[in-house]
Structure formats: structure tokens, C-alpha cells
Amino acid sequence: MKRLLALAAAAFVAIPLTPASALEGAPGAAGAGDPYFPDQGNGGYDATHYDLALDYDPATNALRGVATIRARSTQDLSGFDLDLVDSLSVRSVTVDGQRAGFTQQSPELVVDP
């Protein structure tokens, strides 16, 4: 079933992502096929919007944030990956308003809704 995915990931720092909508990749592939960054992005969904809410504390040099990503699957997906640099930690993930399982497998955030 194709559906709209709404993902919110609370992290210690912002989550830099490559917009999947800007790249063509094989559905479900670990990378989107970009010639310069072949392992970034993910096939199987089209990211349509990113929203970052950030809070920085200069006294402690801590950056906390929430990344909200709107995406539409382009095929049936049992899970999907998001690019995530090693230095970031994710506390929780929701998909369509429901808590989702996830693991951090550098350099990916693997989401299992």
C-alpha cells in the first residue's frame, strides 16, 4: 500500500539529508544513484518537505532538534533508510503519527514502521 509517510526524529543535532525527490534511484535501494554521492539518499520514496526545529545552547555547545520529513512511498515498503552522520543520536521516530522501530547503522537511520 502506497501511503504518505510523516516522520519526526528527535535528535541531539540536526539531521542533514539529501532530498530523495531530487534523485532517481531504484526503489528500496540503499543509495539514490547520484554520481557524486552514490550511497546517499534512498530509493522507494519521494521526500516532499523537510522541517527542522532546532535549539542551540552556546554555554554547553549542545544542539537539539526535531526533523519532520514528509515523503510519499513510490512502492510498498516494509522499512526505509535515511542518511545520518555518525555524530548524531536519534531518540525517537514516528511514522504517520505512530512510534516506529529504528536502528542507527552508520551512516544510515534504518526505520521499521
Which SS3 state, helix, strand or coil, does residue 34 take?
coil
Q: How many domains does the chain have?
A: 1
- Cell readout for 69 is 520529513
Cα 90 from Cα 8, distance rounded (Å)? 10
Q: Domain range for residue 21? A: 4-112
Q: Are 103 and 111 in contact (CB under 8 A)?
A: no
pTM: 0.66
Per-residue pLDDT tens digits for 9-67? 544 444 444 444 444 445 556 666 666 676 676 778 888 999 999 999 999 998 899 99
Sheet holding 80-83, edge to edge: 80-83, 108-112, 101-105
